[in-house]
Amino acid sequence: MERIPADRTSAGKILTQRLRGFDQKYAEGGSIAYRAGAAASLVRCRAADVQKEDISLFVQTWKPGREDEAAMKEFISGYTASLKKQQPCLKKNG
C-alpha cells in the first residue's frame, strides 16, 4: 500500500509503470487493473473529512507458472474491498 498525491495516476498506469507492459484488463470502473501475474488498484480519497490523496495497491506473483489472470482480479478486488472497510482515507487525529 502506498499513499500518493491525488489525481496523479490511475490503476492502469501503476501496473504499466511497474511491469512495463500494456496488456492489462480493467474492473470496477477502471479502479482495478490486472493481468496474468500482477494487479493494481487505486482508492481515491475525496471528501471533506478525508485526506486528499490516493492509495495504491500493487501485487505481483514471482513463481513461474502461477500467473492466473482471473485469480489476480479476484485477489486485488478482495484486498481492495478489505482495505476500504478499514476506512484508510479518514483523517487521523493526533
| Tens digits of residue pLDDT in 69-79 | 899 999 999 99
What's the start-to-end Cα distance of the chain, in Å? 22
Cell numbers standing for residue 45 = 480519497
What pLDDT score was predicted for residue 17?
Answer: 80
Q: Is 53 helix (H, G, I), strand (E, B) or coil?
A: strand
Q: Which residues of the chain have pLDDT under 70?
A: 20-22, 48-51, 65-66, 92-94
What pLDDT score was predicted for residue 66?
Answer: 66
How many Å is the maximal CA-CA distance in the chain?
A: 46
pTM summary value: 0.81
Strand bridging mode 38-44 / 25-27: unpaired
DSSP code, position 8? S
What pLDDT score was predicted for residue 1?
Answer: 81
